[in-house]
Amino acid sequence: MNPFARELVAICRAFGVFERETVCCGTVTVPQCVALQALLEAPLDVATLGDRLGVTPSAATRLVDGLESRAWVERLRDDSDRRRIEVSLTGAGRREAERLQGLTAQATEAILDAIPASKRAQVTESVRLLRQAVEKAQGAVAGCCGR
């Protein structure tokens, strides 16, 4: 494995990306954590939420089912298109999402603090470039993972 691949895989494993059902922050799975934080920005329809998480529509529906069973989200039908179902946070869901967002901020600050101050801007720029490259290459990457 080349050095870039080794480092990228190590980072992904450290963040639990490969273990989709890993429990995060003691209360939720990693996908639930990401979904709750995405819904903090605005309500989303199930398909858009699935796209954001990189999961199939049926997996997104099951994820919403789990969040709904915990009373963290509610489904609302779009009056103009009855097939479109929007997912929004409940009060309890907003509190949990904000708690998780705070924990995410603490974790990323701890990571950034471990990088020498003189290198932080460089690392941030490199991570941005890496994210953009991953987004561009998603088709090729998805093919190797069976999606």
What is the residue extent of each domain of the chain? Answer: 21-142
Whether the model clears a pTM of 0.95, i.e. scores above it, the answer is no
Q: How many helices (H) and strands (E) does the chain have?
A: 7, 5
- Evaluate if residue 144 carries a pLDDT over 90: no
Give the mean pLDDT of 108-120. 93
The two beta strands, 85-89 and 44-45, are: antiparallel
Would you state the CATH architecture of domain 21-142? Orthogonal Bundle (1.10)
One-letter amino acid of 6: R
Produce one character per residue of 110-129: b if its CB has 16 or more CB atoms within 10 Å, e if not. eeeeeeeeeeeeeeeeeeee
**pLDDT given for residue 17 in this prediction:** 58
Token pair recorded at residue 66: 């789990």
End-to-end CA distance of the chain: 22
3-state secondary structure of 127: helix
Over residues 87-105, the pLDDT tens digits come to 999 999 999 999 999 988 8
Give the mean pLDDT of 33-41. 93
